[in-house]
Structure 1
């Protein structure tokens, strides 16, 4: 399975460069959902710890099964499968974009908005949660304003979440790319509507 966020050692210098293309939508296939930034080290580290825990649980299930306690082994195996699923979901958490709209993937839910439902995507200064914990600090957040009623939706990204903590340049690049996707997709949608 190809992992687009992984690069070989020879390409690492080129991969760290921001996208220099004039269009914020540099992909030929705009209909595919993609995350316009890489998962941060805190998110990847958390998933790695969960997978390490799951490996211990699988080893425990093997030992329990070899001792003859099959129901206990099945419980341990089920718990390990749940931890692996949680780790994989943790890696998918974030903002995804396509020609269809904007998708915010959370740990327990996913919210999708079509570009016609988005009035604006903007970066604002506000108190934000530090790594999703109750503690708040002053920082930047990427917010979406719904078209029609002008209601502000839940914050998409912050510069203190698991993807961007201590990486302000990465947050600025991701916010610019998502704002670019929003602006260009809305203009494409409006142009299509005017043609009809």
Structure 2
């Protein structure tokens, strides 16, 4: 079963003539691949879900169907959480920039974006309260200051921890999308 949200469009790596070498710029796309930490956590969640779903079948066959149903719902919630974890990230299209979180997705049209730039600042390590010095892709909006807006990408997130080249490439592509669409 293909999982299109796991792949990133690789055409930006090969085309040097344009920052946006996509055939369909209206299609939402993530300009980078999910990092190994994110994929690993999701894989562990799916592994746990397989055991829970197997337990749901055994409980339903040997015990009560209602208990098996409860365990089945728990297993399906774990599967949904793992898949949502894989969808998290920054997505771009001609219409705007979309930040997909675990519980909420926010879309910002390019008309409200003043700038997107890479800055050195303290960033959260793997989303935990601990901060370390790193790089972040900061979004400056017309209606808010840069300090009020959380960074789009950081060097210490689940996608880019230990992968500075991947962070630089993803930040460059998002900046190129912003520059191209604010002009047009």
**TM score, norm. by length of structure 2:** 0.92
Give the aligned partner of residue 182 of structure 2. 186
Counterpart CA distance in 1 for 2:105 and 2:58 is 38
Pick aligned residue for 1:168 from 143, 164, 169: 164
Q: In the TM superposition, what whole-angstrom CA distance separates every residue of 1:132-166 from its partner, at most 9, and x where no partner exists?
A: 1111100000010002x452222100000000000
Decide which structure has the larger Cα Rg and report it.
1
Give the aligned partner of residue 86 of structure 2. 91
Give the aligned partner of residue 177 of structure 1. 173
5 Å-filtered alignment, 1:1-196, equals 1-4=1-4, 5=6, 18-147=13-142, 149=143, 151-152=145-146, 153-188=149-184
Gaps of 5+ in 2: none
Give the aligned partner of residue 191 of structure 1. none
**TM score, norm. by length of structure 1:** 0.87
- Equivalent residues, number: 180
Confirm or deny: 8 A CA contact 2:7 2:33 kept in the other structure: no
Counterpart CA distance in 1 for 2:90 and 2:150 is 12
What's the C-alpha RMSD, in Å, of the aligned pairs? 1.8
- Give 3-state SS (helix, strand or coil) of 1:18's partner: helix
